[in-house]
Amino acid sequence: MVRAIVGANWGDEGKGKITDMLAEKSDIVVRFQGGANAGHTIINPYGKFALHLLPSGVCHGHVTNVIGPGVALDIEALLKELEMLEARGVPAPKLLISDRAQVLTEYHVAFDCYEEERLGKGSFGSTKSGIAPFYGDKAMKIGIQVCQMLDKNLLRKRLENAAAQKNVLLEKLYGRPALDVDALTEKYAALAERIRPMVCDTTQFLHKAVKEGKRILLEGQLGTLRDPDHGIFPFTTSSSPLAGYGAVGAGVPPTAYEEIIAVTKAYSSCVGAGPFTTELFGDEAEELRKRGGDAGEYGAKTGRPRRVGWFDAVATRYGCMVQGATDCVMTNLDVLGYLDEIKVCVAYEIEGCQTRDFPVTPLLEKATPVYVTLPGWKQDIRGVREYGALPENCRAYVEFIEKEIECPITMLSNGPKRDEIIYR
């Protein structure tokens, strides 16, 4: 039985907490795309963790964690995260790495930085983790699979092959020194040895697990609007954060899906550049940013202040639709308890016309929000465990949004901790 947890919006919706929570009732947790470029915050009895590359099931001893072939595997980042867990007293997690996953190297990170520098003010707000150059190499067939890296001669050949293209760009476009293939071969051959015990055919493993009826949780990173095809291109990421891609990037049959859980926040937040229709500015934004999340809305990866705004039902309805969501989880509901009135964006006005359909980026850039204003509940709702015990205005807010996004909100998160959850 396969379940996917994915973001309905721009990322940072609080998927880490929900995954960590549902991991308890799962046998296997799988990362299927992206790399160490985003962060999931989880808070559990071991403390607070920002995980970047490891699946969010690593704090549960009974869970097998899988890094699927669709992931950008930054081995150094992975080892650092494993060391961090050990230092914090978490027992060594069960971790399997796909032999088909490709390796994100130091030159991918370097190219990411050089390109952001070259673009200057026109940059797309990359986290400079090497993600776009990595997926570019995969598409260009000059990437390196883990299985190739485990054979030093093959690794060298693959590096030479990549360097033939990379060095032209380094010299002509960026004015930087060429790649040192010898040094790279030594470095990545050594790193490969460190992960060798974890490397296997995870696709066979997962297909067998599906047949045996194991509970498999696919963990998406970022959200719908960062999808290269369906998101706010070019302010998108380079791999698909859609549940549909989960079948590919993890290696499970698409017919095995039973649930697709889209996570959204009770307000909007977004890291990086791009149109963000319901954005708040000034004191209003600062207040929400300060109160948001578990320690304010600052990027788990970069520490950058997140842009914040009112709930955008147009973007979220689209986000849930494209994910094929069967359920929606709304997180951070507790954060809004200080507001007298709360706005919800129910349509966009573009060139004099109103629409409820999420438009292409050039039109989105011209969109202004059409708001409905709802009364706040002016109450701290942390600690509430029953839906019926929530203030009436709070339930009205949830039910209004549920109708607008056309997806059942089956869980409400009212605090960052694992047990701060209300089932409906």
- Indicate which single residue of 300, 367, 405, 422 sits in contact with ligand GDP (rule: CB under 6 A): 300
Candidates 2, 4, 14, 312; binder of ligand GDP (CB under 6 A) is 14
Token readout for 344 is 């919800």
Output the CA–CA distances (angstroms, integers) from residue 275 to 233, 293, 364, 365, 372, in the order listed. Answer: 10, 22, 7, 6, 21
**Binding piece for ligand GDP, criterion CB under 6 A, among 57-65, 292-300, 339-347, 367-375:** 292-300
The rounded distance, in Å, linking the Cα atoms of 160 and 137 is: 13
Out of 99, 259, 279, 294, the only residue in the binding site for ligand GDP (CB under 6 A) is 294
* Sequential DSSP letters for 271-298: -SSS--TTB--HHHHHHHHHHSTTT-SB
Comparison of 149 and 328: residue with beta carbon closer to ligand GDP: 328
Among 40, 128, 226, 317, binds ligand GDP (CB under 6 A): 40
Measured between alpha carbons, how far is 296 from 335 in angstroms, rounded to an integer? 10
| Under rule CB under 6 A, residue 335 binds ligand GDP | yes
b/e map of 254-276 (b: 16 or more CB within 10 Å)?
eebbebbbbbbbbbbbbbbbbbb
For position 115 contacting ligand GDP by CB under 6 A, the verdict is no
Mutual angle of helices 181-195 and 75-87, in 10-degree steps? 40
Specify whether the CB–CB gap between 143 and 137 falls below 8 A.
yes
Distance of closest approach, residue 177 Cβ to ligand GDP, in angstroms: 35
Start-to-end C-alpha separation, the chain: 22
Residue placing its CB nearer to ligand GDP in the complex, 259 or 294: 294
Q: Is 15 in the site for ligand GDP (CB under 6 A)?
A: yes
By CB under 6 A, the residues from 307 to 326 that bind ligand GDP are none
Q: Which of 27, 40, 112, 230 is catalytic?
A: 40
- Active-site residue, selected from the candidate residues 12, 20, 327, 334: 12
Report the distance separating Cα 44 and Cα 157, nearest Å: 44
Least separation, in Å, of the C-beta of 390 and ligand GDP? 13
Q: Can you tell me which of 34, 35, 39, 319 binds ligand GDP, judged by CB under 6 A?
A: 39
CA atoms within 13 A on the CB side of 394: 27
Rule CB under 6 A: is residue 287 a binding residue for ligand GDP?
no
- Residue 20 annotated as catalytic: no
Q: At what angle do helices 392-405 and 313-323 cross, to 10 degrees?
A: 60
Within residues 42-81, the interface with ligand GDP by CB under 6 A covers 43
Considering the rule CB under 6 A, would residue 329 count as an interface residue with ligand GDP? no
Per CB under 6 A, does 414 bind ligand GDP? yes
Tokens representing residue 198 in the block: 């974890």
Could you say which residues in the range 394-413 bind ligand GDP, by CB under 6 A? 413
As measured in angstroms, the least distance from the Cβ of 179 to ligand GDP is 32
Active site residue 207: no
CB nearer to ligand GDP: give 43 or 256: 43
Query: Site for ligand GDP (CB under 6 A): how many residues?
Result: 24
> CA angle, 217 as apex, 264 and 236 as ends, to 5°?
45
13 binds ligand GDP (CB under 6 A): yes
- As a whole number of angstroms, the distance between CA 167 and CA 173 comes to 10
Residue numbers of the site for ligand GDP (CB under 6 A)? 7, 11-17, 38-41, 43, 293-294, 300, 331-332, 334-335, 413-416
Catalytically active residues are: 12, 40
